[in-house]
Amino acid sequence: MTLLRSAALFTFLVFGFAPTVSAQRLAPVGIVAQPTLTFAPLTSGPTSSTEGSAARALVGGVLGGAIGAVALGFAAALINSSGPECSRNPDACSGGLVESLLTGGMVGHAIGIPVGAHLANGRRGKVATSLAVSGAVLLVELIAVNALVDERDLIRSKPTLLGVLVVSPIVQLVSSVMIESRNR
C-alpha cells in the first residue's frame, strides 16, 4: 500500500463514519423541544473523577488500539491477498501481504485508540480532536516509515524504524487519554 492509499483509507474511515454533533441537528418545525434533566454522579472530589476517567480512557485506548490494529490489519491483508494473481501463485503476494498487514494495523490503531478511549471514558471528551491528533501522528509515522524503506523494500535503519513503530502508538495513546480526560 502506498502512502497516498493509506492516507485516503484513514480519511475515509475517520470522516466517513464520524458521528454528527448534536448542535448540528435541527429541531423539527412545529415541535417545541422540552428541556431534559440530567443528574451527575456523586464523586468524592474533582481529583478522583479525573483520575478515574484517565484510567478508563487509558484502558479503553489500549483495547481499542489492539482491536483496531488487528481488525484493519487483517482486513487490509485479506483485501491484498484476494487478487487474481494471488490465487495462481500465493507466493507472489507475500511481500505485499506483510506491507498491507502493517499499514492496516497502523491505520487501525490510529482510529481504535481515540475511539476506545472515548467510549471507555463515557463519551465525555472530544473524539474529533482526538482523532485529528491521532491522524496527524499517523501521517508522520507513515512518512517516516516511507522514508526509512527504500524502493527495493530494504530498511535503511532498523532501530529507527522500530522506534517509529513503537513510539507513535504511545504518542497516540497519551494524546487521546489527555484529550479525553480533560474537563470540558
Query: pLDDT 10s digit of each residue in the chain, 184 long?
Result: 465 566 555 655 555 555 555 555 555 555 555 666 565 554 544 444 444 578 899 999 999 999 999 999 999 888 877 777 666 676 666 667 778 888 899 999 999 999 999 999 888 888 999 999 999 999 999 999 889 988 777 888 889 999 999 999 999 999 999 998 875 5
The residues facing 149 across adjacent strands are 155
Binning the chain into helix, strand and coil, the percentages to the nearest 5 are 75, 0, 25
Residue 165 carries which side chain, given as an amino acid letter?
L
Q: How many CB atoms lie within 10 A of CB 86?
A: 16
